[in-house]
A and B are shown apart, each in its own frame.
Chain A
Amino acid sequence: MNTVEEILDFAIDREQQAADFYSNLAERVSSAWMKDMLLGFSKEEMRHKGKLKSVKLGDKLLNADQHVQDLKIADYTVDVEPAEDISLQDALIVAMKREKAAYRLYSDMAANIDDPELKSLFLGLAQEEAKHKLYFEVQYDEQIMRDN
């Protein structure tokens, strides 16, 4: 990936993969309730994809210097399997951790590239993923750890 276009295509493809992941999981789960939830996650990823597409057309990503709060919940929760009987709690953990992995990926790519334009792009993508992770962490905080 040597051009802005290629990097954005890569990121768009990743969002599509994430959306497919949730919609495929939604097909497998037995609970109607969770099915709705996972389809909602899938739609959220498609919304992210749409945003990246608009960046390709000239919109701006988050500024690489903008602070996005890290609640670190994804750091201390355990990995869980996206099984057919997945609960809301586990689905949120899966989502947090996927966003965290994407954040790491783009951060690492930014660290290993010298071109300032591409570095800034990777950092912007990392910030977007950090924002997505924060969304799921806040939901975990509100919906699951209501009494904590």
Chain B
Amino acid sequence: MSLKDLISPFYVWQRAFEKPYTQKRPIEDRPGAPRYRGFHMNSEECIGCGTCESICQNHAIDMVPVEGLEQRAGDSGLRPRFDYGRCCWCALCVDICTTRSLHLSNHYAWVTEDPDAFHFTAGTDAMPWNQNSLGYRRDDDYHLLVHDRVEMQALSAEESVAGFDEVMRGYTEEEAVLEADRCVECGICVATCPAHMAIPDYIRTVRKGDYEAGLRLLYETNPFSSTCGRICTHRCETVCVMGYQGDPIAIRWLKRAIVDRVPQEKYREILGDEVEENGKTVGVIGAGPGGMSAAYYLRRQGYAVTVYEAQARAGGMLRYGVPSYRLPDNQLDKDLEYIRSLGVEMRFNTQVGRDIPFTQLLDEHDALFLAVGLNQPSALRIAGEEHPRVLSGLRVLDDVASGKDPGVGKRVAVIGGGNVAMDAARVSRRLGAEVDVLYRRRIEDMPADPEEIRESQAEGCTLVPQAIPVEIRNASDSNQVTIVWGEAEMVADDKGGRPRPVLQEDRMHEETYDCIIAAIGQGGQIDFIPAEFRDRIEFKWNKFVPGDYQQTGLEKLFVGGDIANSRADAISAIEDGHHAARGIHRFLSGALDG
């Protein structure tokens, strides 16, 4: 071995004192491309629908609670948490995002020695790229979701006003599947539905064509599915995530699509409702949606149920207040007859307080559910109201439902902006009248369903907003009536309520009509409850204030429906009935104290 061979290994030491050939932090100062798919960002538009989580092929996203963020209508309160040990930055989550809140920044370097650090909740955790304005965003013309609703066939406005045929004609099977296909199954709608119906699940049954499974799901929470498939106020659709970039899913129509395809004769077999008598009895006061919903769920629990109804038929306002062009009688009957088929005893033409004392019902039954609704029309209480050509909206609708001619004439003024007013107006159009609808506030303030407002206008009703009726006078023709109304200025409500109309006395108008239909609101009638129970039942204004499970301080009495909630719609009454049935069962089985 030569000397050179012996000392050559030591030559390497001279390298120890040279400058390094590699860069110490090679990725510094190399920004990503403007549309680089870097780290995730989430804006405040996120409502926690979880569609990103569903589409992620690598299970890199979990929807998690976030401190300080509460669940509320239309927001799950959850936010996407990313696991960068799984993410492949495919950006499907961005492409599917229903609110377009999710983006990718063009940051791509995240250096840490902690191997568990690569989890973060986008938009919530403070990350260096949160303010990044570059990175991948979905193009405006690129959509993974179908934004346009499959419209339901409907009668034209001309065909509608020609009679009382149902306006909405229903989905074909193909249309229903196409509409169901649009649903991303996020379930945001479930919390908003007063009955918390299993909406994504029953929409899935439509997609599969499994209507029997769909019916079973509907009846878990709503025995008025044919009715609600037509006239529900569909609060669920107001929060549907598909509504952020397009049309919300037609949830109401998909419910109808199920019920329309199952004949009533098959209900018992499909639903498998078997009643095992438990020996206890429950009285239900009022055969509207609240009362009959309670009757259904109580009967399923084995209670002997007797329903006391002042009218000759069941249905309450659904029968006497909703015209057949929106809810045909046979569809309401489909719901009611199935409930009755379980053995519910009906006592029609029996008004509690007049035909039978309240205390007798209290003595005869183990529990009572009261859902008498709001059936007393508020008076106008303006001068001249007693004129014979001033009619009540409820009376007009009742007459039409009962096959009588309410005699509205050829020129009608309807006062009010709720559903009763809209229906009174549309009924009058069908009876051949020209109709003006006088409303004290603006059209956007009308409490009627938007569809009702739109359809009434399409059918030729003229809406006159910010019109305050102040006096009714005799017209020169004794068969007519004159109304004096003044224009209203809207003023803001200091406490955040809806703007309030204020009469402008210098802008008054006078108009003559064949009749005036007053539909300004309704109240309840509960005078049949004896004074001796007053201290045990809580009221606020004209409503009951029930406790847990709709129970009152009078332990055997449970209340629900319009007389006990502020929403005053059918689906809320149905839920009250269901909730009270659970409460009564707990009460009578000792699980719920008085």
Contacts and interface: CB of A to CB of B under 8 A. Distances in A.
A148 B520 contact: yes
Interface stretch (B92-100, B114-122, B523-531): B523-531
B383 interface: yes
Contact of B382 (A30, A35, A71, A78): A78
Interface centre among B381, B500, B523 (most CB of A within 10 A): B381
B465 to A, nearest CB: 11
Nearest to B386: A78
B244 interface: no
B114 to A, nearest CB: 57
B468 A147 contact: no
Given A30-B527, A145-B378, A37 B539 contact: yes
Contacts of A78: 381-383, 385
Interface in B91-113: none
A70 interface: yes
B502 A72 contact: yes
A103 B468 CA distance: 23
A147 B534 contact: no
Interface in A67-96: 69-72, 75-78, 80, 87-90, 93
Contact of A32 (B493, B531, B541): B531
A16 interface: no
Interface string A121-148: 0000000000000000011011111111
A90 B380 CA distance: 11
Contact of B539 (A36, A72, A146): A36
A31 B519 CA distance: 25
Q: What secondary structure prevails in chain B residues at the interface with A?
A: loop
A10 interface: no
A2 B468 CA distance: 43
Contacts of A146: 418, 447, 520-522
Contact of B530 (A32, A69, A76, A89): A32
B468 A144 contact: no
Contacts of A145: 378, 440, 520-521
Contacts of B529: 32-33
B531 A144 contact: no
Contacts of B527: 30-33
B504 to A, nearest CB: 9
Interface in B517-555: 519-523, 526-527, 529-531, 533-534, 537, 539, 541-542
20 contacts: A31-B526, A32-B533, A32-B537, A33-B527, A35-B531, A75-B503, A76-B468, A87-B523, A90-B381, A139-B541, A142-B497, A145-B378, A145-B520, A146-B447, A146-B520, A146-B521, A147-B419, A147-B421, A148-B421, A148-B519
Given A76-B503, A144-B521, A147-B521, 19 more contacts: A32-B529, A32-B530, A32-B537, A33-B529, A35-B531, A78-B383, A80-B381, A87-B523, A138-B493, A138-B497, A144-B523, A145-B520, A146-B418, A147-B417, A147-B419, A147-B447, A148-B416, A148-B439, A148-B441
Interface of A: 30-33, 35-37, 69-72, 75-78, 80, 87-90, 93, 138-139, 141-148
Interface of B: 378-379, 381-383, 385, 415-421, 439-441, 447-448, 468, 470-471, 491, 493-494, 497, 500-503, 519-523, 526-527, 529-531, 533-534, 537, 539, 541-542
